[in-house]
Structure 1
Amino acid sequence: MKAVGVIVEYNPFHNGHAFHLEETRKKSQADVVIAVMSGQFLQRGEPALLPKWVRAQMAVLAGVDLVIELPYQFATQKADTFAFGAISLLGAIGCNSVCFGSESGKIDDFWATLDFLESNKQEYDHKIKFHIDQGVSYPTALSRAFLELQPHESIVDLSKPNNILGFQYVKAIQDLNLDMEALTISRTNANYHDEDFTSATIASATSIRKAMFAQNGTLEEIEPYVPKTTFNLLHEYAKQYHQFHQWENYWTYLRFRILQASTEELRNIYEVDEGLENRVITAALEANSFHDFMTRIKTKRYTWTKLQRMCTHILTNTTTAEMRQRMTHPSYIRLLAMNDTGRLYLNKWKGQAPIPLVSKLSSFQQDDIALDVRASRIYALGATEEKQQALLEMEYKQPPIYISNKKRKGIL
């Protein structure tokens, strides 16, 4: 069976994702679509709106055949590490191709950009260091260094978020020496960071979440922008758990973690660097909300995203040593959800997988998966008090979700 991979967060799954899936099947001519999906915390350093199990269910109901989890140590990282982990897993589960959305829409330009930067690597690295020394953020330094190399027309614009990720996916394929075809699809209508609705049916996940968390926001406002199955699952989760997950849910826990820690303990946390521990403690003493806290620690040198990722690691008590130990290569494939096609593919592939397939947490070496388990424990605290236990138990008791093709057709 021919497999194509997609790298996703589905926070939540929306009509733009549905378009991407449809085009992925057309471009790849694959028999099975495999999604590697971030778990409870995401690449921008945010708690997912919904638990990974619910988002995996959204994915399968919308047409993904198999969903696997991108481990915490890759999911909560800057673009290169995020991409390395995701592409490694898609390679380990036998994907012949990967298809991603981009502002460019031209795959040849990504390979040309990779060649261009490798040819100018020494100068590029020198320019990046120069701009970082000037006190700007790492992404800004990358963007300025790139433009100063005066790239020609067929070079991808690496100031665009999806182009940046796409470039890193292509680079990871090359670095891992994988026999995997890279495909790309142009993003349509809504841009990644758009905060407002600009189309009748297509909206960014950012704008959807903003509408959901608005003071008088209702789920009905986002109904035109998500598939019926997504809308129903959002409604069901709101009814059962009473609220969705956002950083403000975790502010009390984050503040406690900061204020009970010594400066040395904070320095050992991943991404707490260059004296940030002192700034973090001072801000935690004075802030009255997560947004207030973030505003107080934000500087020109650090992006909001980098600081959110740092907060995620403080919240989960994840040290630099732990992350570096686990960032080499993924050591397992955790199964989250599948349909009949995904199950058939797994049955054919499982004997060839170079790393273990994990369907039961109790049957796998706990130390290897410890970061994911800890992240899920902390994530559960973002639910209302009477619902936290249910989310805590889900990490241990929930088997991979199976939705038969027949059942999916009945729901649709």
Structure 2
Amino acid sequence: MRTVGLIVEYNPFHNGHQYHLQESVKIANADAVVAVMSGHFLQRGEPAVMNKWARTEAALRGGCDLVIELPTAYATQAAEWFAYGAVSILEATGVVDAFCFGTESGEIDALRDAAKLIAHEPPAFQELLREALEGGVSYPSAYSTAIAAYLTAIGQEDAAGFPFAQPNHTLGLHYLIALERIKGRMLPYTIRREKSEYGQTTVTDHAIASATAIRKLLLEGGELEASRPLVPSTTFEVMQREWASGRSPVSWSNFVQPLLHTVVTHTPGQLAGYREMMEGLEYRLLQALPKLDKTGFETLLDALKTKRYTRTKLQRALLSILLHHKKEDFTADKLAAGVEYIRVLGFTGKGQQLLRRMKKEAKLPVLLSAARPPVDSRYLELDTQASAAYMLAQPGHASAAAMYRDFTDRPVILE
């Protein structure tokens, strides 16, 4: 059974995701789909609008055969470590033959060539990156600038003109860098994004919109019905159930009080110990609070944002405070050591066949529940803590039982 891997958040699973899934199956000539999906908290430092079990169900009903959780330690990181964790897990399953990601251009050659050149960051590239960062720009912008400068310096001016700075190109490049670093055997493919750009906030097509635009409809307008044309009917059914139950929607507004509680009970030195807190951000945060006219999350972000402190950077920093993610748990050495387990969130009948193969061929222990882990993993602890924090904040549905679903729930099974 030939299998293609996808790296996803599905927040929520929409028509564009279904297109990507179907095209990935075609381009990889695959018989089955394995998705590695972020859990309750996501790469841009924000909570998922629905919990991971609901999103798993939507993914399975949308065409995935096996859904694996990307540990929180990697799911909430910038592109380099997000990509490294996801690609490592797909490779570790032992059953994924190829993986496919979306890009703005649909072209992979320039990305693959650049990945081979900079995967191990030659000194000249490191120096160019350092110089770009000193210019005060964001890390993604500095990274793409350094790539172009490095390719120019080694006589590859044509390659230097590729738009590496576009968001999906940046992420795709890091997927390929990760594949180089782990010496993976999977074949990489890319397909072109259609009809909506990454992060686009408005709906401009009758059927396809970015996840960002759909979440804006759901969270700002509170319009569940308005999302119906933009998501598969199976996703809409899951969303209707989750909204009706009071479990969704979830946003940063559900976490403001516990976040502020942690901030105001910490000294600057204690805040500086959390991941992503750097360059004096702890002082800026503490100085901003007394000046706020209200304690909403957007108000706080507006008070903190600068050219250097982008929205995404700030959200990741605030998330690290909320989840008590200390810097010592996220060193480069620890992250480079890789994932320690494969946590299964759900599967179909075909996915169950893949699971049987994985039990023989996977390079890591396979977990169906956190109740009896075969490994003593700090990252699994962080996952279960993040789950408890998320479930406690569900609007109108927080309970002690919900907090510990990681230990009591089995994977979602779609017959």
When normalised by structure 2's length, the TM-score is: 0.92
Cα drift, residue 326 of structure 1:
4.5
Letter aligned with residue 403 of structure 2: L
Partner Cα distance (2:304, 2:376) in 1: 35
| Matched residue, 1:410 | none
Cα drift, residue 386 of structure 1:
4.5
| Matched residue, 1:91 | 91
**Structure 1 stretch displaced more, 272-281 or 192-201:** 272-281
Partner Cα distance (1:63, 1:155) in 2: 37
| Matched residue, 1:230 | 235
Partner Cα distance (1:61, 1:326) in 2: 35
Cα drift, residue 242 of structure 1:
5.7
Query: Is the CA contact 1:254–1:315 (under 8 Å) kept in the aligned structure 2?
Result: yes
Partner Cα distance (1:292, 1:58) in 2: 33
Cα drift, residue 180 of structure 1:
1.1
| Matched residue, 2:108 | 107
Q: Find 1:188's aligned residue among 194, 205, 208.
A: 194
Partner Cα distance (1:185, 1:140) in 2: 23
Query: Is the CA contact 2:144–2:170 (under 8 Å) kept in the aligned structure 1?
Result: no
Cα drift, residue 348 of structure 1:
2.0
| Matched residue, 2:370 | 361
State the percentage of identical aligned residues: 36
The aligned length equals: 403
SS at match of 1:350: helix
Query: Is the CA contact 2:369–2:406 (under 8 Å) kept in the aligned structure 1?
Result: no
Matched, 1:162 2:171: no
Matched, 1:300 2:300: no
Cα drift, residue 142 of structure 1:
2.1
How is 1:204-353 mapped onto 2 (pairs within 5 angstroms)? 204-215=210-221, 217-241=222-246, 243-287=248-292, 288-324=295-331, 326-327=334-335, 328-353=337-362
Query: Is the CA contact 2:36–2:69 (under 8 Å) kept in the aligned structure 1?
Result: yes
Query: Is the CA contact 2:118–2:177 (under 8 Å) kept in the aligned structure 1?
Result: no
**Structure 1 stretch displaced more, 295-304 or 55-64:** 295-304
- Residues 142-193 of structure 1: per-residue CA shift (max 9 Å, x gap): 2333444554158641111111111111111111111110000000010011
| Matched residue, 2:70 | 70
In structure 2, the CA distance between the partners of 1:286 and 1:255, relative to structure 1 (3 Å rule), is: farther
| Matched residue, 1:174 | 180
In structure 2, the CA distance between the partners of 1:214 and 1:142, relative to structure 1 (3 Å rule), is: same
How is 1:45-64 mapped onto 2 (pairs within 5 angstroms)? 45-64=45-64
Partner Cα distance (1:189, 1:172) in 2: 28
Letter aligned with residue 7 of structure 2: I
In structure 2, the CA distance between the partners of 1:349 and 1:144, relative to structure 1 (3 Å rule), is: closer
When normalised by structure 1's length, the TM-score is: 0.93
Cα drift, residue 366 of structure 1:
5.5
Partner Cα distance (2:50, 2:248) in 1: 9
In structure 2, the CA distance between the partners of 1:276 and 1:75, relative to structure 1 (3 Å rule), is: same
Cα drift, residue 121 of structure 1:
4.4
Partner Cα distance (1:33, 1:119) in 2: 30
In structure 2, the CA distance between the partners of 1:294 and 1:401, relative to structure 1 (3 Å rule), is: same
Unaligned regions of 5+ residues in structure 1, if any? Answer: 405-412
In structure 2, the CA distance between the partners of 1:255 and 1:110, relative to structure 1 (3 Å rule), is: same
Unaligned regions of 5+ residues in structure 2, if any? Answer: none
In structure 2, the CA distance between the partners of 1:278 and 1:382, relative to structure 1 (3 Å rule), is: same
Query: Is the CA contact 2:147–2:160 (under 8 Å) kept in the aligned structure 1?
Result: no
Cα drift, residue 140 of structure 1:
2.4
| Matched residue, 2:411 | 400
Cα drift, residue 353 of structure 1:
1.4
| Matched residue, 2:382 | 371
Query: Is the CA contact 2:106–2:191 (under 8 Å) kept in the aligned structure 1?
Result: yes
Query: Is the CA contact 1:136–1:302 (under 8 Å) kept in the aligned structure 2?
Result: no
Partner Cα distance (2:74, 2:119) in 1: 24
Letter aligned with residue 285 of structure 1: P
**Structure 1 stretch displaced more, 240-249 or 125-134:** 125-134
- Residues 10-53 of structure 1: per-residue CA shift (max 9 Å, x gap): 00000000001111111111222100000110000000111111
Letter aligned with residue 190 of structure 1: S
In structure 2, the CA distance between the partners of 1:119 and 1:289, relative to structure 1 (3 Å rule), is: closer
SS at match of 1:26: helix
Letter aligned with residue 314 of structure 2: L
In structure 2, the CA distance between the partners of 1:178 and 1:243, relative to structure 1 (3 Å rule), is: closer
- Residues 313-338 of structure 1: per-residue CA shift (max 9 Å, x gap): 10011101122274221000000010
Partner Cα distance (2:113, 2:183) in 1: 17
In structure 2, the CA distance between the partners of 1:172 and 1:55, relative to structure 1 (3 Å rule), is: same
Query: Is the CA contact 1:45–1:308 (under 8 Å) kept in the aligned structure 2?
Result: yes
| Matched residue, 2:44 | 44
